Structure 1
Amino acid sequence: MDWISPRSLNRLGMLNMNRRNVDYIARYNERSSYPLVDNKLKTKLVVAEYGVKTPKLLQVVKQQHEISHFREMAEGLVGFAIKPAKGSGGKGITVITGRDEDSFIKASGARVGTPVLERHLTNILAGLYSLAGTPDVAIVEDLVESAPSLARYSHQGVPDIRIIVFRGYPVMAMLRLATTASDGKANLHQGAVGVGLDIGTGKSLNAVQFNRPITLHPDTGLALQNIDIEDWEEMLEMASRCYEATGLGYMGVDLVVDAHQGPLLLELNARPGLAIQMANGRGLLPRLRAVESLKRPHFTPRERANYAMETFASL
């Protein structure tokens, strides 16, 4: 895997936070669209109208008295995920992967009882994990079972794919792999591994942890240079379709490959981070400018995905 230093990356057009905020987020993202992406429940509902699949919704808990229904709903379930609708950075998400008599088994292997999960739902409603600390809604979704070809690279967590979409064009992508350091979450700031992906093929390019180059996953020990994402063209088209669904000109689209349902949308982000550039070993600016300079933009998600695959493929 070739590695490019941060200094060299600057010369290759690395987008910094100030420019991202002023030239792209503020310029291309209408404030009226933010509630669609800052609320996971609203996201699920709006993207469904545009043919973008998400994990099956099992329950919505809006009021304290509805928590009693959770116990009944979860009685026959082996696995599920509880999420705060307005949470960010993976905070407040609890993933249950199995049962042991009256106990639920978390992704980490820890066992918890129903009262613990009910208290967690209460905390979500109180806004403990919401962006502004305001009252929130809890959603319970079907468990995502990652495709084995990707699951083996991740440690105690579902790997996901972050795609930066600009004006409907997928311009850069990375695979995020959970680690012990990240506590099973695909969050690069907490220590997850970021693997840059070739937009043209879905194959791995470079890998980083804490912005430092690595070639092996720190927990699984697997080499990271020969990863090949399944259903790559479909994923790019799904990401592109989120532009029509939200109207956001600059966003992060987080997808997962489910073992049974294929690609699913996990969430959208109107303020995606910039570590994806380190994972790819190249900057975003040249690609963003290429899209901005298009004289005749492509009108369909498929056309935009095809353009991206042809134009931004790594040589």
Structure 2
Amino acid sequence: MQLPWRLARSLRRAGVLGMNQRNGDFISRVNPRRLYPLVDDKVRSKTLAQQAGIQVPELYGVIRIQHEVPELPKLLGGREDFVVKPVNGSGGNGVLVIVGRRKGRYRKASGALLTEEALEHHISNTLSGLYSLGGQPDAAMIEYRVKVDPVFEPISHQGVPDLRTVVYKGYPVMAMVRLPTAMSDGKANLHQGAIGAGIDIASGLTARGVWRNEVVDEHVDTGNPIANVQVPQWDTLLELAARCYDISGLGYLGVDFVLDREFGPMMLEMNARPGLNIQIANQSGLLPRLATVDTLGRDDASVAERVAFAREHFARSGSNSVDAPTSAP
């Protein structure tokens, strides 16, 4: 669908990056397709990160074929809580978070209970490709359930927020935190009803949030203020995000981290086609920041230099505000 010309002009003036331009001018130019499997496959992504010394949630095991599904209790080894994910999933689809057990059933973050048969059915659906990229047959990975950092507890509902950073040519250009809600069933997924709040690259302070098509100052479930929350270990998170460019080889990527209350920053995944809603969360367009990297960035800059560059050039006071749209094209 073609946008009305007035809205299209407003978006261009605000520096908003659209999907076609993202794909044609950036992803196709700096993301070699041969590298996509490195990040599309979450097990391979984990291995890459670990080899580079980046911490990831512990992998308990992978179920690849149907006759392995009944072996889940043995694979879990008596663990009470865990996460089930499609190895080649996207957008948070098919992610199942189990926080405990009760009388032979598995408890979700919402409190709902699943039978053994229901859990096995979910894993079978995962293997069939119901949640995978392109609907191709997939595998299910079982991993450690991250425990929310105390700083996020007041602005999160029954789940763990994640921190998405868009990295361009190794430079962190924009970041947001995705806050789980009751509507999102405790998942940090904007399309399912989580809140997105921009993060100032320079300081690590959160801004106001966007929920569905509404700008919000408070978490819709907890009622606590969203803005001006200091993200812990922000320096480390920026450096880790910048390093993901070096380990993946992708010039335009999204990197998702979580903060575990015990283990600190952990990488969840890398994405070769990161969504554009991060612009809405920041009320700022990506294009001016990408142009700044193209014009002033150095290909031979170190991680520390790239982070310092991002802090200097992408502080909130210098952002290009997006006033008109409530959703990215």
Superposed counterparts of 1:131-170, under 5 Å: 131-170=133-172
1:133-188 deviation per Cα after TM superposition (whole angstroms, max 9, x unaligned): 21111110011101011133111221111100001110000010112222322221
AA of the residue aligned to 2:312:
E
AA of the residue aligned to 2:252:
Y
- 1:272 paired residue number: 274
1:229 to 228, 231, 245: 231
Q: Tell whether the 8 Å contact from 2:174 to 2:201 is kept in structure 1 after alignment.
A: yes
Length-normalised TM-score, structure 1: 0.94
Q: Tell whether the 8 Å contact from 2:109 to 2:185 is kept in structure 1 after alignment.
A: no
**2: distance between equivalents of 1:293 and 1:118?**
52
Length-normalised TM-score, structure 2: 0.90
2:130 to 128, 131, 146: 128
1:218 to 214, 217, 220: 220
Q: Tell whether the 8 Å contact from 1:155 to 1:219 is kept in structure 2 after alignment.
A: yes
Instruction: For residue 16 of structure 1, report the CA deviation from its aligned partner.
Output: 1.5
AA of the residue aligned to 1:121:
I
**2: distance between equivalents of 1:296 and 1:71?**
51
Structure 1 residues 168 and 148, CA gap change in structure 2 (3 angstroms): same
Q: CA RMSD in A?
A: 1.8
1:13-71 deviation per Cα after TM superposition (whole angstroms, max 9, x unaligned): 11122211111111111101111111111111112121221100001111222223211
AA of the residue aligned to 1:17:
M
2:90 to 88, 91, 103: 88
Q: Tell whether the 8 Å contact from 2:148 to 2:159 is kept in structure 1 after alignment.
A: no
- 1:181 paired residue number: 183
Q: Tell whether the 8 Å contact from 1:202 to 1:228 is kept in structure 2 after alignment.
A: yes
Q: Tell whether the 8 Å contact from 1:206 to 1:281 is kept in structure 2 after alignment.
A: no
- 1:99 paired residue number: 101
Instruction: For residue 8 of structure 1, report the CA deviation from its aligned partner.
Output: 6.0
Structure 1 residues 295 and 264, CA gap change in structure 2 (3 angstroms): closer
What is the DSSP-based 3-state SS (H/G/I as helix, E as strand, rest coil) of the residue aligned with 2:133? coil
2:63 to 61, 64, 89: 61
AA of the residue aligned to 1:208:
V
2:26 to 13, 24, 27: 24
Uncovered stretches (5+) of structure 2, i.e. residues with no partner: 1-6, 318-329
Identity, % of aligned positions: 49
**1: distance between equivalents of 2:212 and 2:12?**
18
AA of the residue aligned to 2:241:
A
- 1:38 paired residue number: 40
**1: distance between equivalents of 2:201 and 2:273?**
21
Alignment pair present for 1:297 and 2:267: no
**1: distance between equivalents of 2:302 and 2:82?**
34
Q: Tell whether the 8 Å contact from 2:38 to 2:45 is kept in structure 1 after alignment.
A: yes
- 1:206 paired residue number: 208
- 1:313 paired residue number: 315
Count of residues in Structure 1 that have an aligned counterpart in Structure 2: 311
**1: distance between equivalents of 2:191 and 2:71?**
36
Instruction: For residue 113 of structure 1, report the CA deviation from its aligned partner.
Output: 2.3
Instruction: For residue 7 of structure 1, report the CA deviation from its aligned partner.
Output: 7.6
